[in-house]
Amino acid sequence: MTSGNDIIPAARAVEGPARGGVPLDDSTTLWAAPGTGTTERWLRATLGAAHGLPLRPGPEEAHNGLRLLVDDTLEPEAYRLSVVADAGIEIRGGDPAGVFWGAQTLRQLLGPQAFRRAPVRPGTRCAVPHQIIEDGPRFRWRGLLLDVARHFMPKEGVLRHLDLMAAHKLNVLHFHLTDDQGWRIEIERHPRLTEVGSWRSRTKFGHRASPLWDDRPHGGFYTQDDIREIVAYAAERHITVVPEIDVPGHSQAAIAAYPELGNTDVVDTSALAVWDTWGINPNVLAPTDNTLRFYEEVFEEVLALFPSEFVHVGGDECPKEQWRGSPTAQARIRELGLADEDGLQAWFIGHFDAWLAARGRRLIGWDEILEGGLAEGAAVSSWRGYAGGIAAARAGHDVVMCPEQQVYLDHRQDGGADEPVPIGYVRSLEDVYRFEPVPPELTPEEAAHVLGTQANVWTEAMEDPARVDYQVFPRLAAFAEVAWSRLPAPERRDFAGFERRMEAHYERLDALGVAYRPPGGPKPWQKRPGVLGRPIEGAPPRR
């Protein structure tokens, strides 16, 4: 069995373990107070299946029982896990989510067997050592961006990643659903978005400078029932799904489906297909009333599917060349009294900020939405370093810190020649562990606008689920500790201790079937010899 000192992410306080403990066997009962139903169901379906335990309902005072209850004297998402001989196991949470995170810790205490779907040694008795763990998160937003637009991930893969997120106490899935290379969500009012926009005829293999192509058509999308299932599955695990629908850039798949959305007075948009390569695409949405109405109809269906407070609208990497050459765009600039094309983008984003706010939602976008002025109430995903997040926080806007140079998990993990399709700076496990989401130059009042942090997984060079696993793990474990635990300053963090705890965590990942990067480097089948990447040498810039 594992002690509370070995869990990931690290707990705030651990008392014990001591001799003695509480056995888990066929006689163990489960008592669940009101508000703990998600954890009750998860325990029976997960720990019950892994250990072959029925976890029958029993009385609150059972000596060999497991008790779940909400205790509002604890902070939101905080928990207290008590394992006391002759008194059973108790998980108290400040809210239902706190109870659930306490159950995730209990699972780690039971060893790697608890991460399997069926018993491998039936009849083996297990016990949890006597200990008390008190814990709670540093940030309310502990996110993972999953890009399913560049390479589609079937629904079962998304559900699997939700389970992996829950195991690491991450609570926001940023679901990147649309881009130039594919539109992945069914919109009933505009069926061509998936009929045309959800697949491309071929795919660049590797970086955009690579001469290699995969000539198989690539595609897929989620039906609205798929989305409902994903959102409900996430909610059972206290994970919020934040959808991203890109505007006004990264929109060629939508324009290929509905050419009138593009700048028809500049380019022949009817000749455009879903993009088959990577990079920044010049084909952006036209700033017309027709485009606004079209996307309002898209967002109406999106809001019906996703109950999240935030809706992400992209707003990044929007080249302005077509707008500069478009009489329609220039007439709109004059009509609105704007200074330039940056102001036009700000107007576009501001329209949807007001539209979402009128429906009780909040807009969030990449830090380019700061250009030309940011609508009041909008939040910022700071990806081009820390500068955008610092500027937004100082202006009173909420921020999610996800700087490319620190927590883009598509960046390579090592400088060795065997790294598959090496992209960007080297971001090792230790580099991610020493990432600090809150810039030291922010005042306490400004820092309060940092909602949290997020690791981003862009899948241009990840052609299948095994490649996603390799890029994400084990670094997501280090990121989860940064997001959850109250760690010291980066230079004072005990990375050697984290590596020691990772020895047990690798066994958990093995039991879950995660194709992570081994500490010693990639296995032969994880390499991609001869596939061109875009490595950047040296240390990444701080800003």
Catalytic machinery residues: 179, 250, 317
Angle at 259 (CA atoms; ends 255, 261), nearest 5 degrees: 65
Beta strands in 71-162 (DSSP E): 79-84, 88-93, 126-135, 141-147
Question: What's the farthest any 2 CA atoms get from each other in the chain?
Answer: 79
Number of H-type helices and E-type strands within the chain: 18, 23
Q: How is residue 416 written in tokens?
A: 């060795």
Determine the Cα–Cα distance for residues 169 and 103; give it in Å rounded to an integer. 10
* Helices 289-305 and 341-357, packing angle to 10 deg: 40
Determine the Cα–Cα distance for residues 10 and 130; give it in Å rounded to an integer. 18
Q: How is residue 16 written in tokens?
A: 């014990």
Determine the Cα–Cα distance for residues 386 and 435; give it in Å rounded to an integer. 12
Determine the Cα–Cα distance for residues 2 and 513; give it in Å rounded to an integer. 20
Residues 6+ apart with CB under 8 A from 370: 380, 388, 391, 392
Compute CA 16 distance to the chain's CA centroid, rounded to the nearest angstrom: 33
Whole-number CA gyration radius for the chain = 24
Length of the chain: 543
Compute CA 327 distance to the chain's CA centroid, rounded to the nearest angstrom: 40
Backbone torsions φ then ψ of 75, nearest 5 degrees: -70, 160
DSSP 8-class letter at 110: T
Determine the Cα–Cα distance for residues 178 and 247; give it in Å rounded to an integer. 9
Determine the Cα–Cα distance for residues 488 and 506; give it in Å rounded to an integer. 24
